[in-house]
């Protein structure tokens, strides 16, 4: 990359790019431009190294071993728990549960909390911006107990219409579950207001932080949410690992989600007593390697600082939106005032799949389709969008390459 | 022209593009644009090819024992893909379509420039066309 790329707000983007080995490759004869970060981010060397160090140096099953390797693995695993506690601003490390990702976290809460909390006639409030993973688990439990799903509507620019909260929330509302930021449109939701209003009617609140974790400072105590979850792979960490935060009072009264090893205190054929939190929810051998490497993702983010990441990405987002708008026949989808670095758009007369295919031919990775938010796409009367999402290692030059690619497509197909 | 001859013609055309991915995709789209439009009466759910991520409608007619397909899609690349099959199959007897070995797919390296998902969709199109030919063949047998 050229010098312009390196003149971010205090960040040396050229140096940061060098930390991501995957970025230096050519795709279809062009330098890789990776704009699919909302799906998964790339991984810095320190995360990759943590994985290989673990497997080549101290792979062992954790918690019950007394040998040296088991000690070392357990220490690394539990250190990540403390790091996650600090990353999310949780009061105690016992409030941190390791899961596979946000999808599992939501399923865990819907199942374990939902079965305890919900009864016939109760309501679960979600939003029109939700990913299928924050819709379907709630539909499943709602159907089982006879509860119903209510939806916070979405305005034209892709913001939630919070004026509807007063009519949507009632004593029947037992659970409110919304994302911190939308994966399709990037909208940052005013979760503070949602949490406060939900608590006023006695509902619990779960926040899906999948799209927020790499961009926005999170303080679960300040937010006062009941549950918050993140996925490691969307914040420079490995796949298959995520974190569920829950307030101790809720986690303690929730029944276990899965049975097995680790989650028990004592097992007899007559009765089993369960372990304390967090282990009650961590049945079986966990994803030790990825949990340990997740700590390096926390370290990477804290070294660069979320504030710097956010400022750099905001510049990219603003630049991309302006450049896209200048192209005739390109329409932005999702223009909320507060956004993470996600820009969805449509090219008139060209299907998103075709845009994606042609951009890929030029080495540019974007996502196309409904982004697992079919109800939202239906709301806008579209089948899907092209989505470019930016991370700390992206540059303006890369956006220029995408704009040039789209210009060619327009010239060819329109 | 036999189905093999048409396939060799397609292979020659794509070989001019020298494996350039962007050119290949654009050429495919261009071929799709030339495909005659499908009338609204044929854009039915029955005519939708199952197994494609894009929407593909396929209509089949028989003229003097020869099969003629017409098709449309909501995406340009897919329209290009189906246009290749129409070019190879149209005007042939059902048994010729059933017996055709589609060697051009591998020869032009289609999976390299359209990806696995679309290659799967493409297989679904071929499957559907062969099934249509099978039905026409057995119908003809009944009439005879």
* Residue A357 to residue B77, Cβ atoms within 8 A: yes
Q: What is the pLDDT of residues A361-385, one digit of tens each?
A: 999 999 999 999 999 999 999 989 9
Cα separation values, A180 from A15, A108, A151, B117, Å: 30, 19, 16, 31
> How many beta-carbon contacts under 8 Å exist across A and B?
39
Length of chain A: 414
* CB-based contact A341:A186 (threshold 8 Å): yes
A-chain CB neighbours of B54 within 8 Å are 351, 353
Rounded average pLDDT over A114-121: 93
Pick the CATH number of A3-31+306-413 from 3.90.1150.10, 3.40.50.300, 3.40.640.10, 3.10.310.30: 3.90.1150.10
Q: For residue A361, give how far its alpha carbon lies from the nearest alpha carbon of chain B (Å).
A: 5
* Residue A360 to residue B115, Cβ atoms within 8 A: yes
Instruction: Reply yes or no on domain A49-303 having CATH 3.40.50.180.
Output: no
Could you give phi then psi for residue A181, rounded to 5 degrees? -140, 145
In chain B, what are the domain boundaries? 3-143
Per residue, the 3-state secondary structure of chain B, as one string, reads CCHHHHHHHHHHHHHCCCCCHHHHHHHHHHHHHCCCCCCHHHCCCCCECCCCCCCEEEEEEEECCEEEEEEEECCHHHHHHHHHHHHHHCCECHHHHHHCCCCHHHHCCHHHHHHHHHHHHHHHHHHHHHHHHHHHHHHHHHHC
Angle, alpha carbons A282-A263-A118 (nearest 5°): 75
A-chain CB neighbours of B116 within 8 Å are none
Cα separation values, A223 from A110, A180, A248, Å: 20, 11, 15
Residue A412 binned pLDDT confidence (cut-offs 50, 70, 90)? confident
Mean residue pLDDT across chain A? 95
Strand partners, A152: A127
Q: Tell whether the model's pLDDT for residue A204 goes beyond 70.
A: yes
**What torsion, rounded to 10 degrees, do the Cα atoms A100, A105, A106, A110 define?**
120
pLDDT at position B142 is 60
Q: Specify whether B52 is catalytic.
A: yes
Q: What is the pLDDT of residues A310-364, one digit of tens each?
A: 999 999 999 999 999 999 999 999 999 999 999 999 999 899 999 999 999 999 9
Length of chain B: 144
Q: What is the pLDDT of residues A131-165, one digit of tens each?
A: 999 999 999 999 999 999 999 999 999 999 999 99
Q: Are strands A242-246 and B66-73 parallel, antiparallel or unpaired?
A: unpaired
B-chain CB neighbours of A357 within 8 Å are 25, 77, 114-115, 118
Q: Tell whether the model's pLDDT for residue A189 goes beyond 90.
A: yes
Global confidence as pTM: 0.92
Q: Which of the following is catalytic: B10, B28, B49, B52?
A: B52
* CB-based contact A206:A75 (threshold 8 Å): no
Q: Tell whether the model's pLDDT for residue B141 goes beyond 70.
A: no
Q: What is the pLDDT of residues A21-37, one digit of tens each?
A: 999 999 989 999 999 99
In chain A, what are the domain boundaries? 3-31+306-413, 49-303
Cα separation values, A36 from A32, A122, A286, A386, A387, Å: 11, 38, 28, 10, 8
Could you give phi then psi for residue A348, rounded to 5 degrees? -50, 130
Q: For residue B66, give how far its alpha carbon lies from the nearest alpha carbon of chain A (Å).
A: 33
Q: What gap in Å lies between CA A391 and CA B129, rounded to an integer?
A: 44
Instruction: Reply yes or no on domain B3-143 having CATH 3.40.309.10.
Output: no
Q: What gap in Å lies between CA A81 and CA B17, rounded to an integer?
A: 54
* Residue A351 to residue B74, Cβ atoms within 8 A: yes
pLDDT at position A5 is 43
């Amino acid at each position: 990359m050229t010098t312009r790329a390196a003149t971010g707000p205090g960040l040396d983007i050229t140096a940061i790019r060098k930390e991501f080995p995957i970025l230096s490759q050519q795709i279809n004869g062009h330098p890789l431009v990776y704009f699919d970060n909302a799906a998964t981010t790339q991984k810095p060397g320190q995360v990759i190294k943590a994985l290989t160090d673990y497997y080549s140096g101290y792979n062992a099953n954790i918690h019950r071993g007394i040998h040296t390797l088991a000690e070392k693995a357990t220490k690394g695993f539990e250190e990540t728990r403390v790091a996650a506690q600090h990353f999310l601003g949780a009061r105690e490390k016992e409030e941190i549960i390791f899961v596979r990702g946000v999808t599992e976290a939501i399923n865990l809460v819907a199942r374990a909390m939902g079965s305890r909390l919900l009864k016939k006639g109760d309501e679960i409030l979600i939003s029109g911006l939700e990913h299928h993973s924050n819709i379907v688990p709630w539909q499943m439990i709602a159907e089982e107990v006879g509860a119903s799903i209510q939806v916070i509507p979405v305005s034209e620019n892709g913001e939630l219409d919070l004026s509807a909260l007063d009519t949507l929330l009632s004593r029947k509302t037992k659970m409110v579950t919304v994302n911190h930021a939308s994966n399709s449109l990037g909208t940052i939701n005013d979760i503070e207001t949602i949490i406060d209003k939900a608590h006023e009617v006695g509902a619990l609140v779960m926040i899906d932080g999948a799209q927020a974790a790499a961009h926005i400072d999170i303080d679960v105590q300040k937010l006062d949410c009941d549950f918050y979850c993140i996925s490691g792979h969307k914040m420079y960490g490995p796949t298959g690992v995520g974190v569920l935060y829950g307030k101790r009072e809720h986690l303690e009264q929730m029944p276990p989600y899965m049975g097995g090893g680790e989650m028990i205190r004592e097992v007899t054929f007559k009765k089993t007593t369960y372990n304390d939190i967090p282990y009650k929810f961590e049945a079986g051998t966990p994803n030790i390697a990825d949990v340990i490497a997740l700590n390096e993702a926390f370290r990477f983010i804290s070294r660069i600082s979320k504030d710097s990441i956010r400022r750099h990405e905001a510049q990219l987002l603003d630049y991309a939106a302006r450049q896209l708008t200048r192209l005739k026949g390109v329409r932005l989808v999702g223009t909320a005032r507060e956004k993470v670095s996600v820009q969805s758009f449509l090219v008139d007369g060209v299907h998103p799949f075709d845009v994606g295919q042609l951009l890929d031919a030029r080495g540019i990775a974007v996502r196309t389709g409904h982004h697992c938010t079919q109800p939202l796409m239906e709301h806008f009367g579209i089948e899907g969008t092209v989505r470019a999402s930016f991370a700390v290692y992206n540059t303006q030059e890369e956006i220029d390459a995408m704009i040039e690619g789209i210009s060619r497509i327009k010239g060819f197909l329109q | 022209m036999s189905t093999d001859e048409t396939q060799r013609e397609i292979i020659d055309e794509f070989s001019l593009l020298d494996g350039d991915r962007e050119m290949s995709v654009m050429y495919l789209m261009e071929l799709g644009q030339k495909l005659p439009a499908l009338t609204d009466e044929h854009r039915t759910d029955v005519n939708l090819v199952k197994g494609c991520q894009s929407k593909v409608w396929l209509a089949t007619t028989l003229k003097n024992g020869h099969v003629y397909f017409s098709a449309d899609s909501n995406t340009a690349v897919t329209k290009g893909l189906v246009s290749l099959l129409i070019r190879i199959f149209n005007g042939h007897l059902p048994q010729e379509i059933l017996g055709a070995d589609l060697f051009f797919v591998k020869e032009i390296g289609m999976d390299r420039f359209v990806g696995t998902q679309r290659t799967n969709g493409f297989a679904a199109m071929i499957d559907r066309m062969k099934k249509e030919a099978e039905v026409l063949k057995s119908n003809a047998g009944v009439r005879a």
